[in-house]
Amino acid sequence: MAAHSSPTITTIAQAAGVSIASVSRVLNGLPVRAETERRVLDAADRLGYVPNAVARSLKSARTHQIAFAVEDIGNPVYLAMLREIQPLLKAAGYRLVLHSTGADAAEEIEVLRGLGQRYADGLIIVPIRVTREHLAELRAVEAPVVVIGSLPDDGLADNVRTDSRRGVDMALRHLTGLGRRRIGFINGPADTVPGHARSEAFRAGTARAGLAVADGTVHEGRFDRETGARAVHRMADGPAPMPDALLCANDLIALGALDALRSRGLDVPGDVAVVGMDDTDLAAVSWPPLTSVSLGSAERGALAARLLLDRLGADADLSAPRAVTVEPRLVVRASTGGAHVVDDGSAAG
């Protein structure tokens, strides 16, 4: 290449031996592998590339909008995230574009692809199923994205996750500590990221504790109240003895279970202790108040907003994607007979 011509993305890509897309991602501050970043920056340096001009021109095209995409904004978990995200974005001068996708993977793909049309400067997305198409779009996407939830590949995007397996373990330890041995499990769809993690953790945790799981005491449905109620009625009508404790994969399932247990004349926690997950606003309001594993929805929302705002920041020289994990906490209430106690696992190590 001629020494007098200004370096371009194409000439940098040639010099670095990487794709044009990778150069674009590095220069735009998007996540890439560390090795790719090093090669691009070395080549840009060698060629005398001045990145600020591009950065300035990109900045002028900003929409001052950030998108937030969730499965169902009616779910209190996502509302808890939204309540943290919205004021942080507002304070930073961004409008919030809300997508409620109905867990439709095709629609989530459209949301990711739509960022190419520059309707938003960045995206926070909570996919409950991560397909190959999600991963391909995350690799190609032209704006910063923060994923809340587990990703199979750490290098793709900024990522905020929780450890729901550890949360299931905390709930099981709590129930066995109360002397409960016949623990039933009511899950959402096991083909979702959260459903799969909870199912695996329940299987491993009960095996480790030497608990027999009776036939007909593990149910799978949706993450809703109807699933909880239906599962309780099936267990009560089934041949196995009623479990003396129920672990529910979220609070909505647990609330449905509480309703059904009441309608069956079963006492909570006398006959059956009940634990939910997510520690939503509903847990404290329900009767009896619901013991629940907090998966830090509010914290996860706030962290995701901060990661995205960092990346959109004026002097952001980030490129490696970052991952943050929020630890679960067990919030003990009357549905397991406890006084109000928060176990953050610090004693258990």
Q: Which residues bind a second copy (CB under 8 A)?
A: 65, 67, 73-74, 79, 82-83, 86-87, 90, 95-100, 119, 255, 281-282, 285-288
- Collapsed DSSP state (helix, strand, coil) of residue 326: strand
Going by C-alpha positions, the residue among 326, 323, 298, 328 that lies closest to residue 78 is 298
Q: How many residues does the chain have?
A: 349
Judged by beta carbon, residue 17 or residue 87, the one nearer a second copy is 87
CB of 288 to a second copy, least distance (A): 8
CB of 324 to a second copy, least distance (A): 24
H or E stretch including 158? strand 158-162
Going by C-alpha positions, the residue among 271, 295, 272 that lies closest to residue 283 is 295
CB of 252 to a second copy, least distance (A): 10
Judged by beta carbon, residue 22 or residue 86, the one nearer a second copy is 86
CB of 96 to a second copy, least distance (A): 5
Judged by beta carbon, residue 45 or residue 281, the one nearer a second copy is 281
Please provide the DSSP assignment of 25-41 as one string.
HHHTT----HHHHHHHH
Return d(Cα 212, Cα 184) in angstroms, integer. Answer: 10
CB of 72 to a second copy, least distance (A): 9
Judged by beta carbon, residue 138 or residue 255, the one nearer a second copy is 255
Return d(Cα 330, Cα 168) in angstroms, integer. Answer: 9
Return d(Cα 170, Cα 174) in angstroms, integer. Answer: 6
CB of 74 to a second copy, least distance (A): 5
- Collapsed DSSP state (helix, strand, coil) of residue 153: coil
For helices 76-91 and 297-312, give the axis angle rounded to 10 degrees.
30
Evaluate whether 49 touches 7 at the Cβ level (below 8 Å).
yes
The structure tokens listed for 268 are 């909570």
Going by C-alpha positions, the residue among 256, 204, 205 that lies closest to residue 233 is 256
Distance of CA 9 to the CA centre of its chain: 34
Instruction: Please report, to the nearest 10 degrees, the dihedral formed by the alpha carbons of residues 66, 70, 72, 74 taken in order.
Output: -50
CB of 345 to a second copy, least distance (A): 28
CB of 342 to a second copy, least distance (A): 19
Query: Exposed (0-12), middle (13-18) or buried (19+): which is 103, by Cβ within 10 Å?
Result: middle
Judged by beta carbon, residue 55 or residue 79, the one nearer a second copy is 79
Judged by beta carbon, residue 170 or residue 255, the one nearer a second copy is 255
Judged by beta carbon, residue 301 or residue 328, the one nearer a second copy is 301
Judged by beta carbon, residue 84 or residue 163, the one nearer a second copy is 84
